[in-house]
Chains A and B, each alone.
Chain A
Amino acid sequence: MTLLVDVFLWGVVIALGIALAARSQPLFLDSLRFAWREFMALLPRIALGMIGSGFIAEILPQQWMLAWFGPGTGPWGIAIAAIAGALTPGGPVIGFALATTALKSGAGAPQVIVYTIAWALFALQRVVIYEIPAMPPRVVWLRVLVSLPLPFLAAWAALVVGRP
């Protein structure tokens, strides 16, 4: 599946590259150099993030976090789940892995929804490693600010609908 995403991504790259090269070759070469500099600047951060996240996840007290947002914890559990999600390190796997463990050990679905959404939106490591270097910091903080109510809106929807 990641292969499919790679193929699609590079298809987009090639299509855009051809479109740009057809329009202006010097500009195309310029943009290649620009993209390469960008890539080399991002590289050390991504290396740190990917390699660090595995170790950080390993030393987290996972069973505590699960106990706190288990079934029947109500609004309190939802609040704890949101905080736990924000504190879970970024990286593609760890949040989903913990969420799955939580579901399997009987955590409430709204709590797990809050957890995965808060993790996706706020994982500090992801904000610091990927988002701040690539976007103006002021826009990043605005993005975080307006995202604050979102996990709770989704949990509220889950409670009202009674699914999944």
Chain B
Amino acid sequence: MSAPVRRPRRAFDWSAAVIAVLAVSAALTVYLRDGQARFFSILTDDLGLFGLMLPKVLAGCLIGAFVTLLLPRETIARWVGAESGIAGILVATFAGAIMPGGPFTIYPVAGAFLAAGADAGAACAFVISWTLIGYARAIVWELPFLGLDFVTWRIIFSLPLPILAGLLARWLWRYVAPPAKDAA
């Protein structure tokens, strides 16, 4: 077992700056166009959502850190590495479907798996599977809005998609992978 090797993450970079500009201009527009009351009502709603998300974000970071250390690199590479075949894509799809939490949970976990030896195809299948057939997301957010009939059919139509995309990603990765820097 070794500590995860990942590049340190900066809290603020160009992508965050773009979102900051968008958010501030949108907020200003609302304030000037719709007035103070509407502005604060949106702000309070969003702050509430933000508060609800925080424990999930922290849980996602912890799960990512723990899982990286608990699952030996060789095990991950064997299950979902480049040589894992279609079974690896299926494992990743299944893991994505049962993984709880939101985007704040799933991407750190996917990043940790990649750092620990999963291949790009499996990571894509994992993320897409969580996005399209993950039950947590569907139950919490989609079901109340769109209803059981719609959501059930949408998920049925989505079932094969992570597998297709994962296989395509694994095949494409051979052409777009960065040159290997270290064999470790």
Residues of A within 8 A of B (CB): 1-2, 5-6, 8-10, 12-13, 16-17, 19-20, 23-24, 27, 30-32, 34-56, 58-59, 90-93, 96-97, 99-100, 103, 109, 112-113, 116-117, 120-121, 125-126, 128-136, 138-139, 142-143, 145-147, 150, 153-154, 157-158, 161, 163-164
Say yes or no: B161 contacts A48, CB within 8 Å.
no
Say yes or no: A41 contacts B64, CB within 8 Å.
no
Q: Taking the nearest CB of chain B, how far is it from the CB of A99, in angstroms?
A: 6
- Please tell me if B16 contacts chain A, counting CB pairs below 8 Å: yes
Say yes or no: A92 contacts B102, CB within 8 Å.
yes
Q: Taking the nearest CB of chain A, how far is it from the CB of B105, in angstroms?
A: 7
Q: Taking the nearest CB of chain B, how far is it from the CB of A90, in angstroms?
A: 7
- Given A56-B26, A113-B154, does the pair A34, B3 have CB atoms closer than 8 Å? yes
- Other-chain contact of A52, B9, B22, B150, B169 (Cβ < 8 Å): B22
In the complex, which residue of chain A has the Cβ closest to the Cβ of B56?
A9
- Please tell me if B172 contacts chain A, counting CB pairs below 8 Å: yes
In the complex, which residue of chain B has the Cβ closest to the Cβ of A145?
B172
- Given A13-B63, A55-B42, A143-B124, does the pair A130, B104 have CB atoms closer than 8 Å? yes
Q: Taking the nearest CB of chain B, how far is it from the CB of A75, in angstroms?
A: 17
Say yes or no: B165 contacts A12, CB within 8 Å.
no
Say yes or no: A143 contacts B128, CB within 8 Å.
yes
Q: Taking the nearest CB of chain B, how far is it from the CB of A57, in angstroms?
A: 8
Contacts of B52 in A (CB 8 A): 2
Say yes or no: B139 contacts A54, CB within 8 Å.
no
Q: Taking the nearest CB of chain B, how far is it from the CB of A89, in angstroms?
A: 8
- Please tell me if B107 contacts chain A, counting CB pairs below 8 Å: yes
Contacts of A93 in B (CB 8 A): 49, 141
Number of interface residues of B (CB under 8 A): 91
Residue from A19, A40, A116 having most chain B Cβ neighbours under 10 A = A116
- Please tell me if B76 contacts chain A, counting CB pairs below 8 Å: no
- Other-chain contact of B145, A23, A48, A97 (Cβ < 8 Å): A97
Contacts of A45 in B (CB 8 A): 11, 16, 19
Say yes or no: A43 contacts B57, CB within 8 Å.
yes
10 contacts across the A-B interface (CB closer than 8 A)? A5-B56, A6-B56, A38-B65, A44-B11, A46-B57, A47-B50, A50-B47, A55-B30, A59-B29, A103-B146
Taken residue by residue from 38 to 71, chain B's Cβ proximity to chain A (1 for < 8 Å, 0 otherwise) reads as: 1000110111011011011111111111111110
Say yes or no: B34 contacts A58, CB within 8 Å.
yes
Q: Taking the nearest CB of chain A, how far is it from the CB of B176, in angstroms?
A: 6
In the complex, which residue of chain A has the Cβ closest to the Cβ of B130?
A120
- Other-chain contact of A41, B10, B68, B120 (Cβ < 8 Å): B10
